[in-house]
Copies of this chain bind each other. A is one copy, B any other.
Amino acid sequence: MSEQQDKHQQRQQKVKQQVDEKIAAAQQEQGILQVITGNGKGKSTSGFGTVARCVGHGMNAAVVQFIKGTWDCGERNLLEKVGVPFAVMKTGFTWETQNRETDTAAAQATWQQAKVWLQDESIDLVLLDEITYMLSYDYLDLDEVITALENRPSMQSVIVTGRGAHRRLTELADTVSEVRNVKHAFEAGIKAQKGFDY
């Protein structure tokens, strides 16, 4: 065996030990609450990727979209075709509608469906896409959302996406990722591309 290969093997052996120890320590079985926040690209997309993973295992996922409802949505086209139910707040971006009362009513109606899924133990994963904005704008009641998350079936996982996640949400979460925008094509004058950006 070459010296390089020998060193490589020693180094990798140590990494393997550390990984194996962590895996051995993590034995609690429960649904996971994940918050994906931050100002970078890919928060909703990451949520949809996990939905695709869940469905690919023959498990059940449901998606609640609180904002992007009026866009032609590639993920929804694909995932609805394979049986994922969607609840969509169809009013589009809040800065397009500019009407507080109709937005609040739409958010509340969408949330009613979310609550049904958050009580249904046959649903393995619920994606609450962009719900953080509904809380920032007070379209939904934070206490009510927290209570619904706390009381969900114990093996159900939930993903919450959106900028500016409330501290009470991140405290309740098991896993929190922050997506940071390092640079963005849009800022360099490149148009949003179908199949990539939307």
Give A residues with C-beta under 8 Å from B.
4-5, 8-9, 12-13, 15-16, 19, 22-23, 25-32, 34, 36, 38, 40-50, 52-57, 59, 61, 72-79, 82, 93-101, 124-125, 157, 170, 173-186, 188-198
Which of B23, B36, B55, B94 lies in contact with A42, CB distance below 8 A? B36
Given contacts A30-B190, A75-B53, contact A95 B12 (CB under 8 A): yes
Let me know if B28 and A189 touch, CB within 8 A.
yes
Copies in the complex: 2
Query: Contacts of A180 on B, CB cut-off 8 Å?
Result: 38, 177-180
A120 to B21, CA, bound (A): 44
> Please, which residues of chain B bring their CB within 8 A of the CB of A185?
32, 34, 174-175
A-B contact pairs, 21 of them (CB 8 A): A8-B100, A13-B95, A19-B93, A23-B192, A25-B189, A26-B189, A30-B190, A36-B42, A40-B178, A43-B46, A46-B46, A49-B50, A49-B52, A50-B196, A52-B78, A56-B75, A157-B196, A174-B185, A174-B190, A176-B182, A177-B182
